[in-house]
Chains A and B, each alone.
Chain A
Amino acid sequence: MNIIVPDNIMKFPHHFSLAQVLLYSPKTLKKIKNFIQGKQAYIVPGTSSIDDIKLSIRLAIPILCGEPSKQHLYSTKSGAKKIFQLADVPTPICSVDIYDEQEFIHSLAQLIAKNLYVTQWIFKIDDEFNGRGHAHLNVDTIKPLQNLKKRQLDPSVDLVDQIKPILAKYLPKKVIIAMPTLFKNWAEYMASFCRVGGIIEAAPTCMRHQMASPSIAFFIEPDGNTQIVGSMDRINAQMHVNAGCFFPQQSLPNMNMMTICKSIGDILYEKGVIGHVTVDLVSFPDPTSPNAHPLFWAIDLNCSMTDYASACTFFDFLMVSTFIFLLILISICLFRRVKSIS
Chain B
Amino acid sequence: MMDEFKVKWPAIKTRRRVEVHINSLSIEELKRISMEKFLQRENAQLSRIFSLRDPNVDIIYISPFQMTTDVIGYYMKILEIGDINNP
**A residues touching B (Cβ–Cβ < 8 Å)?**
1-6, 9, 14-22, 28, 32, 35-36, 39-49, 51-52, 55-56, 59-63, 68, 127-128, 132, 182, 221-223, 274, 305, 307, 310-311, 313-314, 316-318, 320-321, 324-325
**B residues touching A (Cβ–Cβ < 8 Å)?**
1-2, 4-7, 9-10, 12-13, 15-29, 31-35, 38-39, 42, 44-53, 58-67, 72, 78-79, 81-83, 87
Set of chain A residues within 8 Å of B21, measured between Cβ atoms: 43-44
Bound-state CA distance A307–B40 (Å) is: 12
A-B contact pairs, 19 of them (CB 8 A): A3-B49, A3-B67, A3-B72, A6-B62, A9-B65, A17-B32, A18-B42, A18-B64, A22-B22, A35-B18, A36-B60, A41-B18, A44-B22, A46-B26, A62-B1, A63-B2, A307-B45, A313-B48, A314-B50
Bound-state CA distance A21–B63 (Å) is: 11
Evaluate contact between A47 and B6: CB separation under 8 angstroms.
no
Evaluate contact between A42 and B17: CB separation under 8 angstroms.
yes
Evaluate contact between A313 and B62: CB separation under 8 angstroms.
no
Give the nearest-CB partner of B26 in chain A.
A49
Give the nearest-CB partner of A192 in chain B.
B30
Q: Determine how close the nearest CB of chain B comes to the CB of A218; give it in whole angstroms.
A: 16
Set of chain A residues within 8 Å of B65, measured between Cβ atoms: 5, 9
Evaluate contact between B26 and A17: CB separation under 8 angstroms.
yes
Set of chain B residues within 8 Å of A307, measured between Cβ atoms: 44-45
Q: Say yes or no: A18-B18 contact (C-beta < 8 A), given A3-B72, A305-B48, A313-B50.
A: no
Bound-state CA distance A278–B79 (Å) is: 26
Evaluate contact between B51 and A313: CB separation under 8 angstroms.
yes
Q: Determine how close the nearest CB of chain B comes to the CB of A29; give it in whole angstroms.
A: 10
Evaluate contact between A18 and B25: CB separation under 8 angstroms.
yes
Name B22's contact: one of A5, A55, A316 (CB within 8 Å): A55
Bound-state CA distance A46–B60 (Å) is: 14
The 10 closest A-B pairs by CB, nearest first: A49-B26, A19-B24, A314-B47, A62-B5, A18-B24, A46-B23, A41-B18, A310-B45, A317-B50, A1-B87
Best-buried of A28, A32, A35, A46 by chain B (most CB within 10 Å): A46
Evaluate contact between B39 and A14: CB separation under 8 angstroms.
yes
Evaluate contact between B38 and A42: CB separation under 8 angstroms.
no
Q: 14 other contacts beyond A20-B24, A61-B1, with CB at 8 A cut-off?
A: A17-B27, A18-B24, A18-B62, A19-B24, A22-B24, A36-B60, A40-B16, A40-B18, A41-B20, A44-B20, A51-B26, A223-B9, A313-B47, A313-B50
Bound-state CA distance A21–B19 (Å) is: 19
Q: Determine how close the nearest CB of chain A comes to the CB of B65; give it in whole angstroms.
A: 6
Set of chain A residues within 8 Å of B5, measured between Cβ atoms: 42, 62, 222
Set of chain B residues within 8 Å of A310, measured between Cβ atoms: 23, 44-48
Give the nearest-CB partner of A63 in chain B.
B2
Evaluate contact between A47 and B25: CB separation under 8 angstroms.
yes
Set of chain B residues within 8 Å of A45, measured between Cβ atoms: 22-24, 26
